[in-house]
Amino acid sequence: GAVVSQHPSWVICKSGTSVKIECRSLDFQATTMFWYRQFPKQSLMLMATSNEGSKATYEQGVEKDKFLINHASLTLSTLTVTSAHPEDSSFYICSASPLSREAFEQFFGPGTRLTVL
């Protein structure tokens, strides 16, 4: 149980285009989903927290107009990187907290590797 999927697993795009990443909880409902970014050989950096039906909360220094987050249902959250640039190239990982568990347990998706040319 507690499986989280992400799509796509990797994407290459041209500078200036937008990319959408989906995060789904497959066998549970998630009160909260989190979006992280991870650069090579570094730790996970939290970008934003999203709750179903409400606006996402962004961490300091993360541009909310560049990284659009939509949490449309208890099983789906999307991250759209708008007008992507090479410096946005990174490994993006989502996580989800099950409704049925205590709020702080998080299960991670497999990640999406974004390369912006």
Partner 1 sequence: GENVEQHPSTLSVQEGDSAVIKCTYSDSASNYFPWYKQELGKRPQLIIDIRSNVGEKKDQRIAVTLNKTAKHFSLHITETQPEDSAVYFCAASPPSLGGKLIFGQGTELSVKP
Question: What is the rounded distance in angstroms from the CA atom of residue 105 to the CA atom of residue 16?
Answer: 36
Residue placing its CB nearer to partner 1 in the complex, 68 or 108: 108
How far is residue 19 from each of residues 14, 30, 65, measured CA to CA in Å?
Answer: 10, 23, 13
Residue placing its CB nearer to partner 1 in the complex, 18 or 55: 55
Binding string to partner 1 for residues 7 to 46, with x set by CB under 8 A, is what?
-------------------------x-x------xxxx-x
| Cis upstream peptide for 8 (omega within 30°) | yes
Strands (E), 26-89: 30-38, 45-51, 57-58, 67-73, 76-81
Residues 74-103 that bind partner 1 (CB under 8 A): 91, 93, 97, 102-103
Does 54 engage in binding with partner 1 (CB under 8 A)? no
Does 106 engage in binding with partner 1 (CB under 8 A)? yes
Whether residue 15 contacts residue 117, with contact meaning beta carbons closer than 8 Å, is answered with yes
Binding site for partner 1 (CB under 8 A): 32, 34, 41-44, 46, 49, 91, 93, 97, 102-111, 113
